[in-house]
């Protein structure tokens, strides 16, 4: 197993986020990844490597994100500081958003004011952007692309061990701590590498709204997600069971929302449903946005999985018998994230 490590992840280190109406210390912090690295040092399960510098990363990003959004991210920090030089001392958070066009708001005439543009490309105020965010997100996407290429090259399993996470980032928006959709980059790279069908199995507590949106009208990428019920859980506005895909993609999106407080037995039953859908689709490879915020001790989530359960999850994923790319997503009980992540990887190895 190759584990691609984002050595630049700590350049993205937010000070505060808006959480349930108040500014709090960020939940998505560099220590999350350090705990995984520490556990991998104790229990090595694969080769820890870095993506090479010659990856066709820009082309891969343009396959899943719009050019204007990528350009915004690349310039965002310098534009934020240009708005007010004192902004260099604080993270950028949006404070104004356009509603959908049906409400009379226009997005066809992009504003010149950076604060407004930030709102145009964000769907929440909990995703702080700082000087190193773009570099960290790009390197994370490079890890995902390298993992996909490793699988195409014959690796059974490969992981993008990175932060910030990615599955909430859509074609032209950021949110949920995510800027670049690493899982979508990996899935598209597998398709571009010659595979005809790829499945995405998202096991994060929060619905992968960005991944769903990117592939919602396509039949070549099946998206399946087990997550907290969006009627009560973030991201709230996507993730319902009746979202089945649209147009050519109808029937190729499956959401399995579960109530807050769900324990492993019920969650496991949902996983069996998800895996059956994957098997019926008969993909040639699998992408797993690996969120570990289903853990019972997670501070912002509500499922009740325990550390030992993640060994069983790893074994279940391996039992699908598919070449698999994993991308690290959520998991905010930072001290437990290392054990839980490595348990999944140990389960994969059998």
Active site amino acids: 168
Contacts of 208 (CB under 8 A, 6+ apart): 167, 168, 183, 200, 202, 223, 225, 227, 289, 329
Give the residue among 165, 72, 157, 184 at the shortest CA–CA distance from 127: 165
Contact 28, 164 (CB under 8 A): yes
Structure tokens at 104: 């009379």
Which residues, listed in sequence order, are joined to residue 257 by a DSSP beta bridge? 227
Residues 6+ apart with CB under 8 A from 149: 55, 189, 193
Whether 26 and 128 have beta carbons less than 8 Å apart is answered as yes
Spacing of C-alpha 346 from chain mean position: 21
Listed in sequence order, the residues at least 6 apart from 174 whose beta carbon sits closer than 8 Å to its beta carbon are: 73, 121, 122, 123, 127, 129, 168
Distance CA 70, CA 179 (A): 9
- Cα distance between residue 338 and residue 333, in whole Å: 10
Q: Torsions phi, psi of 209, nearest 5?
A: -60, -35
């Amino acid at each position: 197993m190759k584990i691609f490590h984002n050595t630049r992840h700590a350049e993205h280190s937010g000070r505060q986020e808006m959480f349930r109406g108040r500014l709090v210390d960020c939940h998505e912090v560099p220590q999350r990844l350090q705990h995984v690295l520490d556990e991998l040092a104790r229990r090595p399960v694969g080769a820890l490597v870095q993506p090479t510098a010659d990856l066709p990363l820009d082309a891969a990003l343009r396959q899943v994100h719009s050019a204007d959004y990528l350009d915004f991210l690349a310039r965002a920090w310098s534009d934020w500081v240009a708005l007010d030089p004192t902004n260099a001392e604080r993270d950028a958070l949006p404070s104004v958003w356009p509603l959908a066009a049906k409400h009379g708001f226009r997005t066809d005439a992009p504003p010149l004011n950076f604060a407004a543009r930030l709102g145009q490309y964000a769907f929440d105020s909990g995703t702080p952007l700082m000087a190193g965010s773009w570099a960290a997100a790009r390197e994370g996407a490079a890890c995902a692309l390298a993992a996909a290429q490793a699988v195409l090259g014959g690796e059974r399993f490969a992981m993008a061990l990175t932060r910030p996470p990615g599955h909430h980032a859509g074609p032209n928006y950021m949110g949920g701590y995510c800027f670049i959709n690493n899982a979508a980059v990996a899935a598209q790279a597998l398709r571009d590498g010659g595979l005809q069908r790829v499945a995405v199995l998202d096991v994060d507590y929060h619905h992968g709204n960005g991944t769903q949106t990117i592939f919602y009208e396509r039949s070549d990428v099946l998206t399946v997600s087990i997550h907290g019920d969006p009627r009560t859980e973030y991201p709230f506005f996507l993730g319902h069971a009746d979202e089945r895909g649209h147009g050519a993609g109808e029937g190729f999106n499956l959401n399995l929302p579960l109530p807050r407080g769900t324990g492993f037995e019920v969650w496991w039953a949902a996983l069996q449903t998800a895996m059956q859908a994957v098997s019926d689709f008969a993909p040639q490879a699998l992408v797993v946005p690996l969120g570990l915020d289903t853990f019972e001790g997670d501070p912002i989530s509500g499922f009740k999985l325990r550390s030992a359960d993640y060994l069983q999850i790893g074994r279940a994923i391996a039992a699908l018998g598919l070449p698999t790319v994993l991308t690290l997503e959520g998991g905010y009980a930072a001290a437990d994230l290392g054990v839980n992540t490595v348990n999944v990887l140990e389960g994969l190895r059998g």
